[in-house]
Amino acid sequence: MSTAPQLVVHRDKELMAQAAAARLITRIVDAQASRGSASVVLTGGRNGNGLLAALAAAPARDAIDWGRLDLWWGDERFLPEGDPERNVTQAREALLDSVPLDPKRVHAMPASDGPHGTDVDAAAAAYAEELAQAAGPENHGPVPAFDVLMLGVGPDTHVASLFPELPAVRETERTVVGVHGAPKPPPTRVTLTLPAIRAAREVWLLAAGEDKAKAAAIALSGAGEIQAPAAGAYGRSRTLWLLDGTAASQLPRSLYPPASA
């Protein structure tokens, strides 16, 4: 059952990143208070990394019990360990290296020089197995019930590494697949699929910048998920679009409350 998207529009991308970081702190603290731990899926890209940098600078940052937080990724560029273009490398620089996470609870996607070598499909299958091992009987399918799954939105409406019309967005069974020939470099990637994304309690889509305005308008106007993957990204209890004013500029004004100043 898809949850209708809620929209929050912020004045600019810096405020959107700061507000989203504050929202994430609260969500994690609440999850840890009620269940003893929290599980979050990170996204790559400028908006995703901007949120992590804002979180690193947030005064309330250490309200989070970093040792009881599981971090997963929505997608990863299939490059060697430590490559500056890998999402996990950028996340470490933005936040992860400055907080006391439990390394066993940081679930990076495999690198192209890891145990699976350059076999991206084997790497994807291994990550799917890691997710299945982490899932419990209370979960909806072979992935943990992520508290928050974040997705940057591409100018073509892609999310994670699910690109319009390509095979990965059409996947209905597997939770993780390899991507060959992605239009956004690098071409080879590992990605969660829509079924895995939809297992999350909350899905937050991050869209700031004028290059996202058309994508937001398409994805929120009833487009199909194959042509507009962002339209198919929704959570079990909440789907939240976090935008700035420029990314919301092509949306009907009735679609969102007054932008936060």
Residues in contact with ligand 6PG by the rule CB under 6 A: 43-48, 75, 77, 87, 152, 154, 158-160, 184
Minimum CB–partner distance for residue 192 and ligand 6PG (Å)? 10
Burial of 34 per CB tally in 10 Å (0-12, 13-18, 19+): exposed
Minimum CB–partner distance for residue 44 and ligand 6PG (Å)? 3
Q: Which residues share a beta bridge with 141?
A: none
Residue type at position 150: M
- List the 69-73 sheet strands across, edge first: 5-10, 238-244, 202-207, 148-152, 38-42, 69-73
Minimum CB–partner distance for residue 48 and ligand 6PG (Å)? 5
- Cβ closest to ligand 6PG, residue 75 vs residue 147: 75
**Distance between CA 151 and CA 211 in Å, rounded?**
16
User: Which uninterrupted H or E stretch holds 207?
Assistant: strand 202-207
**Distance between CA 233 and CA 159 in Å, rounded?**
8
**Distance between CA 28 and CA 41 in Å, rounded?**
12
Residue 217 and residue 181 in contact, taking contact as beta carbons nearer than 8 Å? no
- Cβ closest to ligand 6PG, residue 51 vs residue 131: 51
Minimum CB–partner distance for residue 87 and ligand 6PG (Å)? 5
Minimum CB–partner distance for residue 32 and ligand 6PG (Å)? 25
- Cβ closest to ligand 6PG, residue 46 vs residue 174: 46
Minimum CB–partner distance for residue 177 and ligand 6PG (Å)? 14
SS3 content of the chain, % helix, strand, coil (to 5): 35, 20, 45
- Cβ closest to ligand 6PG, residue 39 vs residue 47: 47
- Cβ closest to ligand 6PG, residue 101 vs residue 208: 208
- Cβ closest to ligand 6PG, residue 154 vs residue 235: 154
